[in-house]
Chains A and B, each alone.
Chain A
């Protein structure tokens, strides 16, 4: 039962509106530093745009999607009205205010520090405060998810928590803890410098704090996508979840091992010991496990649907799948991109292999393929699936939806594959300008041109997405019925307490954070003389 539809719709609309703006900036960035654009004489404009693109795509857009989807899950999976609606609106407005507060200094060129902050670069203090407000707003959501589950548990003692809600709350806890790293960096280190109270900053420590957030945040972005894999896709294509327990174990594994791995982002940094880098590398390898489990379970779930539809043979069943169903299409595209992106990720997390692609365009290609591709295409799918239930109107034009998904998939491949390639050739990331007339990089011009064209395909797809949703608001009214999630082949009657609660796994997550981050953070914080003068962006 979806009662607070306005709340959920507000989250989704805001998410997709800012997504549209950031997507446009992204396409412009691709164009302006490609051989088909003329060199923008002011690199600062490029970094301004890059900061806005990253801040929106990294913090605002996925957080709003996770929140809106989370509220929808809470109401429909638990079948109870959302507790704390006023708080939910407070969280929403905090995000609105935070986003506006952050984007103004960025637009004025006073905070071109990129969304990863990069101290000792220091921007305007309101940029950071804006980001903090966005995070605080999302923490309200975390608390509400926990409270709603608690209320439900009281009413249903001992009953298995519906999978969608179990996963949703796991995602919210992961976010609550992973955001602490960046919050500490912002509040203890950056804001005092940005406010003029200090003039130096320990950039090494800041990078370690940020790595605490930066990797697990990806799994927070990923959560809605995985929830959709398990609880929406099988239902939408007429199948069942192959294993409810396997799904729970996957989400639990994300909770435990997504956190203590972020230092693979600092392989090239001198301030962390090689032993810790190795541990983080090894734990990063473990994150592949829940993804492999998921791919197995979802393929099995999809096979069930295909066989129910009369599919036969070892691979013959694949043809029997409902390929005209947008959800099926989105899943397939998502898996292909997850496969390529995941394989690239294994290279990034390997201490030695990373050296050849560190800080190259490979990395940009990698996270666009995983996040922009595998994850965001499922955000589209979630929106398409939820929209009729939120608006009470039908999304009629399935052909247009399929076109949109195809364009996104193709656009992402055309954008990111050449990006990976030029990365291997050594093209650095975060550059505003490349002189393709130089013989040293002239051979990369063609790849970069393709990449830029991919950017425009993505932009087209993004616009189409917004058009479809907007038209969906004006379509004829139709009752979509209650919103349901996929059932498992063996729907659990009871679930062991460890698979029905989060406490053990949250405890392990925190314990591993302490073992894997405690010592490096403490030594850096206590070592004298590790700070460097701040470099104020836009200061005269």
Chain B
């Protein structure tokens, strides 16, 4: 017994085994690639080859349809979990100088007294993305946009690293800590709302999502409302807009009030 006795057409097992397998393959291929495509009256094929290519999944260029023009700009920032992950002392130093012009609203230590976001210790990727969006016009704000519009890529990176480097100080206006509202820890699964904490810290942090502890209540409320109305639209794939639209006004208030009352030192460190 050797391979020569096995792989030969004089061996009936070989002939039948290969023959039956090939026959099944050919029949299923004919059915799958020719018969079934033509059995769909709602699809038109130019010829048999066209049908075969379609059934085989040959990649085809989409018809030349011009994309609808975007009335409003969308965010074009690409973030990965490695974005700005290696800060240098020089970059932080440059960022500190640049940040002097931010201090009037965001505070000299990165803690705002004007219902602007506290930036001290915010994730670098977050500041990086928002500054880019303000610059490109994907996000607009009467005060912020003029500041951002002239920043270079380098300056944006430096500012992001500087603020990420600052220690997270307790918020300026701490209030007694509130119990965790359901929307923050459970979300509302039946309405497709993930818990806030699954992206914004406490449970997990997703790249590009800011931590919110100790931020201004008025600011967070205004942003959620802006997301819900579509006024703010620099969230990728509408993730925040979809959530904000499904939130009740009461849930918006609860979430904003809860996060505003939290001390920022509970935020997970970046590793």
Contacts and interface: CB of A to CB of B under 8 A. Distances in A.
A279 interface: yes
A155 interface: no
Contact of A540 (B32, B58, B78, B271): B271
Contacts of B203: 41-44
B183 to A, nearest CB: 12
B71 interface: no
A539 interface: yes
Interface in B1-31: 1, 3, 5-7, 11, 13-14, 17-18, 21, 24-25, 28-29, 31
Interface in B63-107: 78, 80-82
A512 B17 contact: no
A301 B78 CA distance: 65
Given A199-B82, A504-B6, A276 B271 contact: no
A440 B191 CA distance: 12
Interface stretch (A72-80, A144-152, A184-192, A515-523): A515-523
A539 to B, nearest CB: 4
B32 A274 contact: yes
Contacts, number: 126
Contacts of B78: 533
Contacts of B271: 540
Interface in B24-62: 24-25, 28-29, 31-33, 36-37, 52, 54-59
Nearest to A282: B28
Most buried by A among B21, B52, B195: B21
Given A497-B1, A498-B11, A274 B268 contact: no
Interface stretch (A62-70, A381-389, A410-418, A430-438): A430-438
Given A199-B82, A275-B56, A497 B24 contact: no
A395 B6 CA distance: 45
B57 A275 contact: yes
A279 B29 contact: yes
Contact of B190 (A438, A507, A533, A534): A438
Contact of B28 (A199, A283, A438, A536): A283
Given A275-B52, A496-B13, A512-B21, A539 B198 contact: no
A508 B18 contact: yes
A308 to B, nearest CB: 33
Contact of B123 (A42, A44, A540): A540
A48 B13 CA distance: 49
B84 to A, nearest CB: 12
A274 B57 contact: yes
B198 A43 contact: yes
A230 B158 CA distance: 71
A503 B36 contact: no
Nearest to A41: B185
B136 interface: no
Interface string A528-540: 0000011010111
A32 B7 CA distance: 56
Given A275-B52, A279-B28, A434-B189, A498 B57 contact: no
A41 B57 contact: no
A316 interface: no
Interface of B, secondary structure class, is helix
The interface size bin for chain A is 35 or more
Contact of A274 (B3, B55, B185, B186): B55
A196 interface: yes
A278 interface: yes
Nearest to A433: B189
B81 A540 contact: yes
A177 to B, nearest CB: 16
Contact of A279 (B1, B25, B81, B82): B25
B207 interface: yes
B81 A497 contact: no
B115 to A, nearest CB: 27
Interface residues of B, number: 46
A435 B28 CA distance: 44
Contacts of B32: 274-279, 282
B205 interface: yes
B36 A538 contact: no
Nearest to A539: B81
A483 interface: no
B136 to A, nearest CB: 19
B47 to A, nearest CB: 16
Contacts of A277: 32
B18 A278 contact: no
Contacts of B265: none
Interface in A255-298: 256, 271-279, 282-283, 286
A278 B6 contact: no
Interface in A442-492: none
B37 A275 contact: yes
B204 interface: yes
A273 B57 contact: yes
Contact of B29 (A275, A434, A501, A504): A275
B36 A504 contact: no
A434 B189 CA distance: 7
Contacts of A527: 59
A340 interface: no
A520 B270 contact: no
Contacts of B59: 523, 527
B57 A520 contact: yes
A508 B18 CA distance: 7
Nearest to A520: B57
Nearest to B270: A540
B45 to A, nearest CB: 12
A39 interface: yes
A280 to B, nearest CB: 9
Nearest to A45: B203
A521 B55 CA distance: 15
A440 B6 contact: no
A498 B6 contact: yes
A512 B18 contact: no
A37 interface: no
Nearest to A42: B203
A440 B18 CA distance: 53
Contacts of B31: 278, 282
Interface string B163-202: 0000000000000000000000110011000010010000
Nearest to B28: A282
A158 interface: yes
22 contacts: A41-B186, A42-B203, A43-B198, A44-B203, A199-B82, A273-B55, A273-B58, A274-B37, A275-B32, A275-B52, A275-B57, A276-B56, A278-B55, A282-B28, A497-B5, A501-B1, A501-B6, A503-B7, A507-B7, A508-B18, A520-B57, A540-B81
Given A274-B32, A274-B55, 6 more contacts: A44-B203, A158-B1, A273-B54, A274-B57, A435-B189, A540-B271
Q: Enumerate the 5 nearest inter-chain pairs by beta-carbon distance, A residue then B residue, closest first.
A: A273-B57, A275-B55, A498-B13, A278-B32, A539-B81
